[in-house]
Structure 1
Amino acid sequence: MTGKDVPGLLEASDVIPAGTKINVTFLGNEDLAMRIAASQAVLDHGFVPVPHISARRLSSQAQLEEYLGALQQIGASKHVFAVGGDPATPEGPYEDSLAVIRSGLLQQYGVREVSIAGYPEGHPDISADVLWAALEDKAKALAEQGLESTILTQFAFDTTPVMQWITEVRERGIQTPIRIGTPGPAGIKRLLNFARRFGVGANTMIVKKYGFSLTNLMGTAGPDRFVTDLSGMLADQPGSGEVKLHFYTFGGLRATAEWAGNFVNPKA
């Protein structure tokens, strides 16, 4: 959720299981007060906030400490998601999320688990070699600091590259739990817009495999086939380690939560 999604959280709170982790974004058009208010709302409704730390958006160490301190004050600093962020040029001293991790500040403000980014289909602006080196370095740095970690991935429509990426993660000796980014049910046009924005594969064959067609953009699509197929692949490859899902709520928090509940416990 974003800082602006508090009303959507309130609307969906009765269908989200207690204790669910809910990520709170760090957007350039939102301020500290909005981010803290969103994390507070997550806590108030019995969920676990995972505030994002956008390294390249931080203008100074003081800003990072102010943010972490405010999170700690409300009891929302235990879990965070450290990500590089969008700006082409860092706005302060942190070039990437590894710089934030290596700062040593996270533990000082009560952080116990750090999510880090994974890109099963690569990144439009970063080479594969750089992505792999960064993932290995971050996993190693967190382990050395005694912090728990989770790899949280970009969303995808195609299970094949996702499964290949999971296999390579494990072959590289990274045993960190993985949460695969999964789009919640949303309008097809909206899903395609996000795919173009983040460099996610969405050609005709991929979206057909996912469960919708590029010739009919007026409907909605959910991840039923994606989740079912990925589950089968993981069952056939027991060396995959701990792999769960992370939902991107493009169609809204409530729609995603209701889909997940119905998928696990189908209505008669």
Structure 2
Amino acid sequence: MKITEKLQQHQEVCSKPTYSFEYFVPKTTQGVQNLYDRMDKMYQSSLPLFIDITWNAGGGTLSKLSTELVSTSQSVLGLETCMHLTCTNMEISMIDDALESAYNSGCQNILALRGDPPRDAVNWQPTEGGFAYAKDLISYIRCKYGDYFDIGVAGYPEGHPEEPNKLKNLKYLKEKVDAGANFIVTQMFYDVDNFIQWCKEVREFGIDVPIIPGIMPITGYAAFLRRASWGQINIPKYFFALLDPIKDNDELVREIGTKLVVEMCRKLLSSGYINHLHIYTMNLEKASLMILEQLDLLPTENEYLTEPISMLPWRKSLNPKRKFEEVRPIFWQRRPYSYVARTSNWAVDEFPNGRFGDSSSPAFGELDLCGGTLLRQSSKKCLELWSTPESINDLAQLVISYLNGKINCLPWSDMPIDREVDALLSHLIQLNIKMIITVNSQPQINGTPSSDKIYGWGPKDGYVYQKEYLEFLLPKTKLPSLQAKLEKNKILTYFAVDFEDNLVTNHSKDSKANAVTWGIFPGREVLQPTIVEKVSFLAWKEEFYRILEEWKIHLIENNASDSVNFIQSLLEDYVLVNIVDNNFVSPNDDIFDLLMSL
């Protein structure tokens, strides 16, 4: 959705100011993975109107990371995203590639910039076959894509470093708006009186598009001075008076600096020109949220309930190819990145029914769709997070730490555990102590209101249901005993498969998708957004064992030979099992009782 439409839509129903976050592209693959987690976490805690991603010009890895970040934030995280695009070192073919990538991912917002000179250049020079000014880039985007994109441009309330003449800067800004720009995002500033005066001059110059101020948190004294110097920003004397005496105390600088920025924002929001704040996060969480908390802008509990994060148990993708997607297999519950990547080539009409339940269909893309690796962590990060488990007891303790929230991910679980697990927590811990390694789970739910803070999803005034589900690693030696017990309890259905693709199940041959989550809502058909079925489970099995193999490679790189041998034993001696308890009204935990009896 376009930013200007979102701003207008919000203001029609609520006078409360809105905000957005800006992130820059990290230099390392591990940094990118960490940023995805931070973007997701900040969205869940604050519900920004949109986020934006800076552009790294010049082609190569960094430029590709810019488009990858935009695509992932739209398609996987379901965040409304604005992509920066500059003229620096950009031939038209490269601009075309970037715009096409944004279009295909469903991104409808571009911040069109001339850009800064490359680091090794003194002055900015246009690229041969590219554009010299942002207005030319805007005109080109409008020519190619019409009104599809909302286009933002940069505003300079303290003047452009290359053009001190205020009148000329206003003229250039007007030219960009006349070329097709829809909104203005300003450079950082701390002189709020000057900014408000500039807004007045912008309006008097005939520019009436939304003005969005760029807000830079103060996190440390040296960084504060460096950023202001880089942007040639005027710092009011009272900022120095308060910050200079405490410059060696980072915590105090952040505390006082936050109060100064909050005071500045309050004055902006009362000026009549501003109703949205754009925060330059510098890829950090705490300072940005401190500002919003002190401004009393963070969503209240009632706002979470009236505007749920997701109308499904998983966050809806904003990629237009996935607009009809209402069903996902439960196996990827905590691995949305690989799931979206492996289903990225599905056609619009293949969501939700075109793939599931058809064993002859090549339901999922190859594993190399996920960027060459399924483990989202570097070798060093794997060691920091999971150390070097050498026994099944070590692995069990690692899983228990995850269940208790002491670590945020496991090799097969990208997402932190949520509090839905509390209903099963003691049982899951006992199973791991018994050396049954739990991989994924959900509790039984029978008609809980859709507004419930833990289990709720979907439209309000509805009711949600879940069958208990458990996925786990079991020693092969215990599988015959498990099969025998499951033969006596037809309500429990299961799949079990080993590394060699030997599959056993008590599902009938003509069995298709088994809905394990569903919702009943006024005036709607039944929604059943989470399922278990054979084709998906076999695709997940392939991915799961590949994750173990990649983990083993990282352990080899860390010279952890005992751990390497242990992971190999998991591949050879364990079977991946999932069980569904189809009796969703029973108060008993039949899956737990069965496994504890093995």
TM-score of Structure 1 vs Structure 2, range by shorter chain: 0.7 to 0.9
Superposition deviation, residue 224 in structure 1: 3.3
Q: Which structure ranks higher in relative contact order (CA pairs < 8 Å, sequence separation ≥ 6)? A: 1
* Partner of residue 23, structure 1: 52
SS at match of 1:95: coil
The CA deviation at 1:86 is: 1.1
Structure 1 residue 91: Cα displacement: 1.8
Structure 1 regions of 5+ residues with no counterpart?
none
Secondary structure of the 1:213 match is: helix
Q: Tell me which of 126, 136, 154 is aligned to 2:163.
A: 126
The 3-state SS of whatever aligns with 2:131 is coil
Alignment counterpart, residue 105 of structure 2, candidates 67, 74, 90: 74
Closer, same or farther in 2 for the Cα pair 1:264/1:226, shift >3 Å?
A: closer
**Are residue 197 (structure 1) and residue 230 (structure 2) matched?**
yes
> What is the CA deviation profile of residues 105-146 of structure 1, one whole-angstrom value per residue up to 9, with x for unaligned ones?
56528742111111111122223333211101111221xxxx
Q: 1:91 aligns with which of 127, 131, 134?
A: 127
Choose from 175, 179, 182 the match for 1:137: 175
1:165 matched to which residue of 2?
198
- The answer for the alignment partner of 1:177 in structure 2 is 210
Letter in 2 for 1:225: L
Contact 2:266 2:295 in 1 (8 A): no
Question: Does structure 2 retain, via aligned residues, the 8 Å contact 1:179–1:245?
Answer: yes
Q: Give the letter for the 1:192 counterpart.
A: L
Match of 1:14 among 27, 41, 48: 41
Residue in structure 2 matched with residue 33 of structure 1 by the alignment: 64
Match of 1:231 in 2: 266
Q: Partner of 1:113 in structure 2?
A: 150
Secondary structure of 1:114's counterpart equals strand
Instruction: Report the Cα offset of residue 262 of structure 1.
Output: 1.8
Tell me the TM-score normalized by structure 1.
Answer: 0.83
Which segment is superposed worse, 104-113 or 47-56?
A: 104-113
The one-letter code matched in structure 2 to 1:129 is L
Aligned residue identity for 1:8 = L
In 1: Cα distance, 2:297 partner to 2:145 partner: 44
Provide the C-alpha distance between the structure 2 equivalents of 1:75 and 1:180, rounded to a whole number of angstroms. Answer: 25
Aligned residues: 253
The change in CA–CA distance for 1:3 and 1:266 in structure 2 (over 3 A counts) is closer
Distance 2:198 2:138 in 1: 24
- More displaced 10-residue stretch of structure 1: 30-39 or 67-76: 30-39
1:140-172 superposed Cα distances (whole Å, 9 cap, x missing partner): 221xxxx6x111000111211111111111111
Counterpart secondary structure, 1:181: strand
Judge conservation of contact 2:50–2:82 (CA < 8 Å) in 1. yes
Matched, 1:258 2:285: no
> Matches of 1:141 and 1:82 in 2, distance apart?
11
TM-score by length of 2: 0.39
Q: Is the 8 A contact 1:150 1:177 kept in 2?
A: yes
Return closer, same or farther for 1:247/1:98 CA change in 2, 3 Å cut-off: same
What residue identity is the alignment partner of 1:217?
K
Check conservation: 1:55, 1:83, Cα contact below 8 A.
Answer: yes
Counterpart-to-counterpart distance in 2, 1:69 and 1:266: 35
The alpha-carbon distance between structure 1 residues 247 and 134, as it changes in their structure 2 partners (threshold 3 A), is same
Distance in 2 between residues matched to 1:34 and 1:22, nearest whole Å: 16
| Counterpart among 12, 25, 30 of residue 3 in structure 1 | 25
> What is the CA distance between 1:98 and its match in structure 2?
0.3
Q: Distance in 1 between matches of 2:276 and 2:292?
A: 15
Change beyond 3 A, Cα 1:199–1:96:
same
Q: Aligned residues: percent identity?
A: 20
Residue 331 of structure 2 aligns with which residue? none
- Superimposed CA distance per residue, residues 29-67 of structure 1 (whole angstroms, 9 cap, x where no aligned partner): 753321122112322223221111112331x21111111
Per the alignment, in what secondary structure is the counterpart of residue 99 of structure 1?
helix
Question: In structure 1, how many angstroms separate the alpha carbons of the residues matched to 2:238 and 2:143?
Answer: 39
In structure 1, C-alpha distance between the alignment counterparts of 2:106 and 2:153, rounded to whole Å: 21
3-state DSSP of counterpart to 1:36: helix
Separation in structure 2 between the aligned mates of residue 31 and residue 67 of structure 1, nearest angstrom: 12
Residues 260 and 207 of structure 1: is their aligned pair in 2 closer, same or farther, counting only changes over 3 Å? closer
Q: CA deviation at 1:261?
A: 4.1
Contact in 2 for aligned 1:156/1:181 (Cα 8 Å): yes
Work out whether residues 25 and 54 of structure 2, in 8 Å CA contact, stay in contact via their aligned partners in 1.
yes
Q: Which amino acid aligns with 1:116?
A: V
Residue equivalent to 1:55: 87
Letter paired with 1:91: T
Rg larger for: 2
CA distance in 2, matches of 1:224, 1:155: 17
User: Deviation of residue 13 (structure 1)?
Assistant: 2.1
Residue identity matched to 1:52: H
Contact 1:185–1:223 (8 Å) recurs in 2: yes
Q: Which is worse superposed, 66-75 or 223-232?
A: 223-232
